[in-house]
Amino acid sequence: MRKAAMLKITLTAVAMTLLWTVGPSCAIADPIPIDELALRAGKGIYLGKATVVDAAIAAKKSVTADKEVHLGGIYSFENIYLGRDAVVRGTVMAEKSASADRNLDLVGDWTGKGVSFGRDATVVGNVTAASQQIGIGRNADITGNVRGNHNIWIDRDSTITGDARPGIGRTLSTGGNVTITGSRDPGSVTVPDMGSSSVLDMNAPSHGDHGSRNIWRGNNSVFALDPGAYREVGFGHHATLNLSAGEYTLKTFWMDHDGQVNVDTSGGDVVLNVLNAFSTGHDVHFVKSGVGSLTINAYNSDIWLGNGADLAASICVFGGNFGAGNGMVLEGNVFASGQITLGNGSQITWSGGSPAVPEPGTVVLLALGAVGMLWKHKNRR
């Protein structure tokens, strides 16, 4: 029992040492990692229930997510709100409020003008508020510092393995059975701003005019479209469209439900430029072969993908919104100068940019795992 108690003390000490040596207790975030963003919106982002994005997202407006989302990191120049049972592995930073419903599971720093968590939050990282109150629901477990320039409220049965320091002249209030390992003394904390929201802008690449020829094919059709300029391109349900390496400039694109677009990049990249509207019915699959990439650019128009869309692409919407129904699977990223909206159960995997440096909280988690394995090994012996 004595050895187990000593190892538990060591585990806590390692976690706190790493939190304090990786950076100062009030360190927030590096500049927004533009190359690592899976979603990048000139307006807001809305994520449906159980959406999974394995990289960071950023928006000029608010980011709102339904319950059970899994995200890599969040940046907003307005507000952030996550529904219950959210899992986040990365930095969360809002110019205004940043809040989450109950059962938040966070590894990373969480920062906003004001901050609030529902009950049962688990956080490995620092929680910081620039100018409004921090409110933490009951039964929270925070391995890191809780600091702000305003009042702090921590509900009952919570544990803060670090400081809990309100602003100068402000108060720290707690419910019953709250444990705070570090300092409770009031102080000030500097929260660096996120810079200008123009960092999220993207210049539209040049493109030619669309053509005058229309391509319409009916249900169950199979058609190979050569690179070039076209007017309206559309296909009925259960149709198959074959694309090869090159650039396509279209006025509109439509693929009805259960269609398939075969994208052959063995001879080079495929670029689709759409100047008016790009949309699909449900369960349309873009099947890419070859080592090249697929890029979809929409200009002064929206892109809409129906339920069950499946594709590997970089998607850019200049002057419009991007939307997808339930169950979209995207291996790639999305930029939209307008709104980005994803339906329930969407999944985005983005491996672009350089590998991310682990957050301080991630380093702590690895350390906890290493010490825990040592503890388990000793007990087995």
Instruction: List, for residues 184-214, the tens digit of each pLDDT value.
Output: 999 999 987 888 999 999 999 889 999 999 9
Query: What is the number of other CB atoms lying within 10 angstroms of the CB of residue 104?
Result: 25
Look up residue 91 and give its two tokens.
């930095």
What is the three-class DSSP state of 231?
coil
- Side chain identity, residue 286: F
Q: Which amino acid is at 259?
A: G
Query: What confidence tens digit (pLDDT) does each residue in 145-189 have?
Result: 999 999 999 999 999 999 999 999 999 999 999 999 999 999 999
The predicted pLDDT at position 30 comes to: 54
**In the predicted model, is pLDDT for residue 341 greater than 70?**
yes
Residue 7 structure tokens: 């190892």
Of 270, 296, 326, 314, the closest CA to residue 38 belongs to: 314
pLDDT tens for 18-63 read 333 333 233 334 579 998 999 999 999 999 999 999 999 999 999 9
